[in-house]
């Protein structure tokens, strides 16, 4: 018979250390185990169902409105690919910046007031005007005509901004007044004022501390 040295024996696939219990096959099995999944810390809002999953990027859906208001405008779905241009051209960086964008607010005001306009309803002697909002050639137009005008009719809007809005599907002043990204941003900032920013446990601790004072 052939005698094996200890080293040779240990290198033999039939050596006991390589034999798996209750198995007819001989293989080396890793003993590493996957770490347990870390459970999310309870927030106190587990029973809530509201969400804005179609407005925000997947990674940002669980954030509070308060936090989202301060985040980059790129957290809004669809803004990411043009975020750099939005920053450079519109000087808009955060969701709050987008919510308070001058030309959006102006356009939205024109759209809203146009809904109240009656054709031929201007009274004699009226001094109502929006001359500082639009270029000279649109100053004597009705609100409905102004809303239907191209965004380039807004006084002070740069050509670069006009091109950016065109790429985003915004062609008229009316389009800008209904621009979904600005409306989402505006709604986020507005609703954040009515949001609890502390968990139930944190609020409970705060109430207890207040009682001790």
pLDDT at 11: 55
- Long-range Cβ contacts of 116-123 (<8 Å, 24+ apart): 117/142, 117/143, 117/144, 119/144
- Of 45 and 191, the one with more pLDDT: 191
pLDDT tens per residue across span 167-200: 999 999 999 999 999 999 999 999 999 998 877 7
Residue 26: pLDDT above 60? Answer: no
Q: What is the pTM of this model?
A: 0.75
- Helices 83-90 and 159-167 cross at an angle (nearest 10°) of 150
| pLDDT average, residue stretch 72-80 | 93
Share of the chain above pLDDT 90, in %: 66
Place of tokens 């501390």: 209
Q: Torsion angle of alpha carbons 96, 102, 103, 107, nearest 10°?
A: 90
Percentage of residues in the chain having pLDDT higher than 70: 81
Alpha carbons 27 and 19: distance in angstroms, whole number: 7
Are 130 and 173 contacting, i.e. CB atoms less than 8 angstroms apart? no
Q: Outline where the chain has alpha helix (H).
A: 6-11, 65-70, 83-90, 95-99, 102-114, 143-148, 159-167, 173-177, 180-191, 200-212
Cα-based distances in Å from 21 to 10, 16, 37, 198: 17, 10, 29, 54
Q: Largest alpha-carbon pair distance within the chain?
A: 123
Averaged pLDDT score across all residues of the chain: 86
């Amino acid at each position: 018979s052939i005698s094996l040295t200890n080293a040779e024996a240990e290198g033999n696939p039939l050596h006991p250390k390589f034999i798996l219990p209750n198995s007819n096959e001989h293989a080396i099995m890793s003993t590493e185990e996957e770490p347990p999944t870390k459970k999310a810390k309870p927030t106190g809002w587990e029973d809530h169902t509201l969400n804005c999953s179609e407005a925000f990027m997947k990674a940002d859906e669980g954030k509070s409105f308060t936090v989202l208001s301060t985040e980059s405008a790129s957290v809004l779905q669809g803004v990411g690919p043009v975020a750099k241009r939005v920053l450079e051209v519109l000087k808009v960086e955060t969701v709050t910046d987008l919510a308070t964008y001058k030309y959006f607010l102006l356009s939205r005001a024109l759209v809203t007031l146009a809904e109240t306009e009656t054709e031929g309803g201007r009274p004699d002697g009226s001094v109502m005007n929006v001359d500082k909002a639009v270029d000279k050639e649109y100053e004597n137009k009705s609100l409905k005509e102004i809303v239907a005008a191209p965004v380039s009719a807004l006084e002070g809007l740069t050509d670069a901004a006009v091109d950016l809005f065109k790429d985003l599907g915004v062609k008229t002043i009316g389009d800008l007044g209904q621009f979904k990204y600005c409306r989402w941003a505006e709604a986020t900032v507005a609703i954040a004022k009515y949001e609890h920013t502390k968990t139930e446990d944190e609020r409970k601790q705060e109430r207890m501390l207040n009682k001790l004072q």
